[in-house]
Structure 1
Amino acid sequence: MLTKAYEWLDERLDITPMWRDLADHEVPEHVNPAHHFSAFIYCFGGLTFFIVVIQILSGMFLAMYYVPDIENAWASVDYLQNEIAFGQIVRGMHHWGASVSIVMLFLHTLRVFFTGSYKHPREFNWVIGMLIFFTMLGLGLTGYLLPWDNKAYFATKVTIEIASSVPFLGDSIASFMQGGEIVGAQTLARFFAFHVFFLPALLLGLLGAHFILIRRQGISGPL
């Protein structure tokens, strides 16, 4: 069944050459754990991407039940966690996955730095990696407020107060994050929009550019 479907698509779209170009890629010996134990440090990037995929899939499930307003946000989270089958598991995966993804991304960044993989000709990919890092931090920040409990509320207030201390632009940044004078309904709506739409779109674009450059330049050599 799957073979016939693939043949039907291949006959019309000629996808086999594209698939072979992506799949037929020789992996350097120094990143093969079977030959070098230190090759495991080259797995951090792939593991980070795997966790990001889990975050996207679990986030899509959570978005089916979440209500982004201050009167129903916590109630929808409570309903999801206690009434929906496997809801507690999926929310737990999304919650802990947010922390694990930052840790894995940090380890991947350290590996790239200490093995000199950011040097010529990969300087541009290093910049993209840094943008991915800050985008992931932004996703963590905006997602933290969404449950709309006391911890999320006051943690967000502290974060905005820290942002307001930035020289010259602090007040503008705080006003933009809050959407007004206080942390309230507009803040929750704004954080939800960034967490679900703007930042994921930016992340997917950056990841696409990151993988294209890796494909063109190859995996960096050992230290």
Structure 2
Amino acid sequence: MFNKIYDWVDERLDIAPIWRDIADHEVPEHVNPAHHFSAFVYCFGGLTFFITVIQILSGMFLTMYYVPDIVNAWESVYYLQNEVAFGQIVRGMHHWGASLVIVMMFLHTLRVFFQGAYKKPRELNWVVGVLIFFIMLALGLTGYLLPWDMKAVFATKVTLTIADSVPLIGPAIKTLIAGDPTIVGAQTLTRFFAIHVFFLPAALLGLIAAHFIMIRKQGISGPL
């Protein structure tokens, strides 16, 4: 059945050369755990990407039930957690995955740094990777407010205070991300939801695509 579908699509779009170019890519021996135990450190990037995919899929499920306003936000999360089939599992995956992806990305960054994989000709890919790290941190920051409980509100107040302390542009940054410069309220929740669901994921997908393209062009870096 799958072969028939593949042949039907290939006959019309000629996808076989594209698929072969992806599937036939040779993996260096030093990243094969069967040959080198230290090759497991090269798995951190792939694991980070795998968790990111889980975060995207679980987040899409959560948005089907979440209501981004201060009246219904907490109740929608409660309903999802306690009434929706498998809702507690999916939310748990998204919640713990948000922390795990940061841990895996940190380990991946350490591997790249200590093995000198940021050096020529991979300087630009290092910059892209650092930007992905900041995007991930921003996703965790904006997502923390969405359950709209007391802990989330007070943590966001601390975050906005830190943003406000930036010299010269601090108040402008606070107003931009919070909406209302005086309180954490409806405008703040709406903006955090929009940033978390639309703006940051769009930037993340673009940076990940650039990251993979450069890895494909430059190859996987070797050990020291």
Asked whether the two chains share a fold, i.e. TM above 0.5, the reply is: yes
Partners of 1:14 and 1:134 lie apart in 2 by 38
Q: Which amino acid aligns with 2:44?
A: F
Aligned length, in residue pairs:
223
Unaligned runs of 5+ in 1: none
1:43-79, Cα deviation, whole Å (9 max, x unpaired): 0000000000000000000000000000000000000
Partners of 2:204 and 2:17 lie apart in 1 by 28
1:144-201, Cα deviation, whole Å (9 max, x unpaired): 0000000000000000001111111111111112101211000000000010001001
Aligned residue number for residue 211 of structure 1: 212
Aligned residue number for residue 47 of structure 2: 47
Partners of 1:102 and 1:221 lie apart in 2 by 24
1:193 pairs with 2:189:
no
Aligned residue number for residue 97 of structure 2: 97
Aligned residue number for residue 8 of structure 1: 8
Aligned residue number for residue 21 of structure 1: 21
Aligned residue number for residue 122 of structure 1: 122
1:132 pairs with 2:132:
yes
Unaligned runs of 5+ in 2: none
Provide runs of 4+ in structure 1 moved above 2 Å: none
Q: Which amino acid aligns with 1:29?
A: E
Aligned residue number for residue 67 of structure 2: 67
Partners of 1:58 and 1:140 lie apart in 2 by 14
Q: Which amino acid aligns with 2:116?
A: G
TM-score by length of 2: 0.99
Deviation at 1:96, TM superposition (A): 0.2
- Structural RMSD (CA): 0.5
Q: Which amino acid aligns with 1:128?
A: V
